[in-house]
Amino acid sequence: MTAEGSGTIRSRIKNLLRSPSIKLRRRSGAARHKEDLGDKVTLEKVLGITAPGNRALACDPRTGLLAYPAG
């Protein structure tokens, strides 16, 4: 590997370590669970979804019945 190539790799790694996604993963467990939105947000209606694989949801718009493959 050339010196120029290794410099590029180093700069990419530095940028990656500075990215917000890495910073979010570094937070402690208490900070991560500080704001639990599960109690504040409720799902009113599922409008529809497109899934390329076997992990999918289906909703009957007349009844609002939600179906999903389990297992």
Buried b (16+ CB within 10 A) or exposed e, 28-40: eeeeeeeeeeeee
Of the two residues 57 and 43, the one the predictor is more confident about is: 57
**β-bridge mates for residue 66, sequence order:** 59
Q: Is the pLDDT of residue 58 over 70?
A: yes
Distance of CA 32 to the CA centre of its chain: 14
* Counts of helices then strands in the chain (DSSP H, E): 3, 2
pLDDT digits (tens, 9 = 90+) for 8-46: 888 887 777 776 665 555 555 555 556 666 677 676 765
pLDDT of residue 1: 47
pTM exceeds 0.85: no
> Which residues are 67's β-sheet partners?
58
pLDDT at 66: 78
Domain boundaries, the chain: 3-67
Return the residue matching tokens 């504040």. 40
